[in-house]
Amino acid sequence: MGPHYWVVVNHHKHAKEVLLKKGKIFAGRPRTVTTDILTRDGKDIAFGTYSTSWKFHRKLVHSVLSMFGEGSLALQNIICREADALLETLTNLQGKAIDMAPELTRAISNVVCSLCFNSAYKRGDPEFESMLLYSRGIVDTVAKNSLVDIFPWLKIFPNKDLDLLKKSIKVRDQLLLKKFNEHKEAYSNDKVEDLIDALLNAKHNMETNQQFQELGLTDDYILMTVGDIFGAGVETTITALKWAIAYLLHYPEIQRKIQEELDRKIGLERHPLLSDRKNLPFLEATISEVLRIRPVAPLLIPHVALEESSIGEYTIPKGTRVIINLWSLHHDENEWKNPDTFDPGRFLDEEDNHVYSPSPSYLPFGAGIRVCLGEILAKMELFLLLSWILQRFTLETNDQTLPDLEGKWGVVLQVKKYTVKVKPRKSS
Ligand code: HEM
Ligand code: PLO
CA of 260 to the centre of ligand 2 (A): 35
Choose one of 170, 370, 412 to mutate for the ligand 2 pocket test, by most ligand atoms within 8 angstroms of C-beta: 412
Per-residue pLDDT at 332: 98
Q: How far apart are CA 363 and CA 19, in angstroms?
A: 10
Pairing of strands 97-98, 314-316: unpaired
When pLDDT is averaged across residues 306-322 and rounded to a whole number, the result is 97
pLDDT at site 254:
98
Closest residue to atom 2 of ligand 1, CA basis: 365
Residue 73 is predicted with a pLDDT of 60
- Is-contact 274 393, C-beta < 8 A? no
Report how far ligand 1's centroid is from the alpha carbon of 365 (Å): 6
pLDDT value, residue 428: 44
Q: Is the CB of 228 under 6 A from ligand 2?
A: yes
Nearest CA to ligand 1 atom 25: 374
Q: Which helix (H) or strand (E) holds 112?
A: helix 101-117
Q: How far apart are CA 172 and CA 38, in angstroms?
A: 10
Q: Is the pLDDT of residue 287 over 70?
A: yes
pLDDT of 337 strictly over 90 = yes
Q: Are 316 and 305 in contact (CB under 8 A)?
A: yes
The ligand minimizing its distance to the Cα of 371 is: 1
Residue ID of nearest Cα to ligand 2 atom 4: 135
What residue owns the CA closest to ligand 2's atom 22? 297
Mutate which of 411, 412, 414 to test ligand 2's pocket (most atoms within 8 Å of Cβ)?
411
* Percent residues over pLDDT 70 in the chain: 98
pLDDT of amino acid 111: 94
**Model confidence pLDDT, tens digit, residues 58-92:** 999 998 888 876 555 688 999 999 999 999 999 99
DSSP 376-397: HHHHHHHHHHHHHHHHHEEEEE
373 lines ligand 1 (CB under 6 A): yes
CA distances from 137 to 103, 160, 244 (A): 19, 11, 24
Q: What is the pLDDT of residue 347?
A: 98
- Is the confidence at residue 366, as pLDDT, over 90? yes
What are the sequence ranges of the domains in the chain? 6-424
**In this predicted structure, what is the pLDDT of residue 427?**
56
201-259 pLDDT, tens digit each: 998 888 888 778 788 889 999 999 999 999 999 999 999 999 999 999 999 999 999 99
Whether pLDDT at 405 is above 80 = yes
Would you state the pLDDT for residue 72?
54
Q: Work out the angle at residue 153's Cα, subtended by the Cα atoms of residues 151 and 154, and round it to the nearest 5 degrees.
A: 75
Ligand 2 centroid, distance to 2 Cα (angstroms): 24
C-alpha 204/C-alpha 6 separation (Å) is 41
| C-alpha span between 315 and 308 (Å, rounded) | 8
Q: Tell me: the pLDDT tens digits for 126-171?
A: 998 898 889 999 998 887 777 778 778 878 888 888 999 999 999 9
Q: Is the CB of 364 under 6 A from ligand 1?
A: yes
Question: Ligand 2 pocket check: which of 34, 40, 236, 413 to mutate, most ligand atoms within 8 Å of Cβ?
Answer: 236
Assign domain 6-424 to a CATH class. Answer: mainly alpha
CA of 233 to the centre of ligand 2 (A): 8
Per-residue pLDDT, 335 = 98
Binding-site residues from annotation for heme: 372
Question: Which ligand is closest to the CA of 237, given by its number?
Answer: 1
Q: Is the pLDDT of residue 381 over 50?
A: yes
* C-beta neighbour count of 251 within 10 angstroms: 16
* Among the listed residues 359, 369, 242, 403, the one whose alpha carbon sits nearest the alpha carbon of residue 300: 369
**How much is the average pLDDT of 339-355?**
94
Q: How far apart are CA 228 and CA 133, in angstroms?
A: 17
Residue of 236, 381, 385 to test ligand 1 pocket, by largest number of atoms within 8 Å of CB:
236
- Report the C-alpha gap between 53 and 324 in whole angstroms: 25
Residue 237 CB–ligand 1 contact under 6 Å: yes
| 182-200 pLDDT, tens digit each | 999 998 878 888 899 999 9
Between the alpha carbon of residue 256 and those of residues 238, 250, 369, 391, 393, the distances in Å are 22, 12, 39, 10, 11
Nearest-5° Cα angle at 365, 361 to 371: 110
Under a CB-based contact definition with an 8 Å cutoff, are residues 9 and 15 in contact? yes
Higher pLDDT, 400 or 250: 250
Backbone φ and ψ for 191, nearest 5 degrees, come out as -135, 95
Note the ipTM here. Answer: 0.99
- Across the range 87-109, mean pLDDT stands at 93
